[in-house]
């Protein structure tokens, strides 16, 4: 049938995918460390159009399509090519909770899940009953030497992500520490947070639960040694979704969708005329 019908439909479908991504951004406008997704579109393969049955130009040999003169290109619509995550920095939100960590700069904190190592920027951590630093879903946060066991009021995370503790109070798990009594007489380095990056950060995959995982294309994570992101204790990184941008996109999506619909209706009207009126005597 008329090619334009399908071109218009492809536009509508692509805009629908866009609004799906947009509303996920809006739903996560309050999720710590959420990184917004953008939709990247690409044109369907374009076709080369040639002139046929033209008296002025001879087609030699007759019927040979390849030798017909070229008119130009014709597009056949659009499709979603990629959902691209923007890893721009989110704003810092002060929480005054010592277990909240925020990263400033590119990098991820490694956590241990049953499916393997995963990576997150959402630093709203807790200690579990055994004293391990865990995420909200109970996954252990990894240091460079494995999971991190610590006590409230007895650990400090510096900008580099190094975790210090006062050796005076380690050992006995039933000996808890209060902020006043801790004088940091025997400060020792406990571990350093495993802050990683990827050779090709664009290709890491979102897993939900604020987690990311490495893929074949992102290549395995490596621990950042130089230019480590700055770790801030007592802060959380807010979502980097900008409501203004998302609202403008929402309007744009809506109107583009309508414009494509109008195209389909125009084709429909033209077709209706051909079918119902041209044949009339």
Partner 1 sequence: MMRSLWTAASGMIGQQFNIDTIAHNLSNVNTAGYKKGRPDFEDLLYQTLRVAGTPATRDTLVPTGIQVGHGVRPAATQKMYTQGSLQNTGNILDLAVEGEGFFRVQLYDGSFGYTRDGTFKMDANGQIVNSNGFKLSPEIIMPQGFVYSDISISQDGLVTVKVAGNDTPVEVGQINVYRFVNPAGLKNIGQNLVKVTSASGQPIEGRPGFTGMGKLQQGFLEMSNVQIVEEMVNMIVAQRAYELNSKAITTSDSMLATANALKR
Write out the binding residues for partner 1, residues 170-189 only, by CB under 8 A. Answer: 173-181
| Binding-residue pattern over the window 55 to 94 for partner 1, x denoting contact by CB under 8 A | -------------------------xxxxx----------
| Binding-residue pattern over the window 230 to 249 for partner 1, x denoting contact by CB under 8 A | -------------x--xx--
**Alpha-carbon distance values, 118 to 21, 53, 85, 215, 220 (Å):** 23, 62, 17, 11, 11
CB closer to partner 1, 67 vs 248: 248
User: Cβ contacts of residue 245 below 8 Å, gap of 6+?
Assistant: none
| 91 vs 164: CA distance, rounded Å | 26
208 binds partner 1 (CB under 8 A): yes
271 binds partner 1 (CB under 8 A): no
Helix (H, G, I), strand (E, B) or coil at 154: coil
190 binds partner 1 (CB under 8 A): no
| Binding-residue pattern over the window 12 to 51 for partner 1, x denoting contact by CB under 8 A | x--xxx-xxxxxx-xxxxxxx-x--x--------------
CB 78 within 8 A of CB 61: no
Helix (H, G, I), strand (E, B) or coil at 206: strand
CB 22 within 8 A of CB 250: yes
Residue in this structure with the two tokens 């002025």, named with its chain if needed: 56
CB closer to partner 1, 76 vs 95: 95
**Range 89-128, binding partner 1 (CB under 8 A):** 95-97, 122, 124, 126-128
Q: How far is the CB of 159 from partner 1 (least distance, A)?
A: 23
């Amino acid at each position: 049938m008329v090619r334009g019908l399908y071109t218009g439909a492809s536009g509508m479908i692509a805009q629908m995918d866009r609004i799906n991504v947009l509303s996920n951004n809006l739903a996560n406008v309050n999720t710590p460390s959420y990184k917004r997704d953008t939709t990247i579109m690409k044109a369907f393969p374009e076709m080369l159009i040639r002139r046929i049955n033209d008296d002025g130009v001879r087609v030699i040999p007759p019927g040979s399509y390849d030798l017909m003169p070229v008119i130009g290109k014709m597009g056949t619509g659009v499709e979603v090519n990629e959902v691209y995550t923007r890893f721009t920095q989110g704003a810092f939100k002060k929480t005054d909770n010592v277990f909240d960590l925020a990263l400033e700069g590119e990098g991820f904190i490694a956590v241990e899940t049953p499916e393997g190592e995963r990576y997150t920027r959402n630093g709203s951590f807790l200690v579990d009953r055994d004293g391990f630093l865990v995420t909200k879903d109970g996954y252990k946060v990894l240091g460079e030497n494995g999971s991190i066991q610590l006590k409230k009021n007895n650990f400090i995370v510096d900008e580099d992500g190094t975790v210090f503790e006062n050796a005076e109070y380690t050992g006995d798990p039933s000996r808890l520490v209060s902020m006043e009594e801790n004088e940091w007489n025997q400060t020792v380095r406990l571990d350093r947070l495993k802050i990683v990056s990827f050779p090709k950060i664009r290709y890491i995959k979102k897993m939900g639960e604020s987690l990311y995982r490495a893929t074949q294309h992102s290549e395995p994570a490596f621990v950042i040694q130089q230019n480590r992101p700055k770790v801030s204790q007592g802060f959380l990184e807010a979502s980097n979704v900008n409501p203004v941008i998302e609202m403008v996109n929402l309007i744009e999506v809506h109107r583009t969708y309508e414009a494509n619909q109008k195209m389909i209706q125009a084709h429909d009207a033209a077709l209706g005329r051909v079918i119902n009126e041209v044949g009339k005597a």
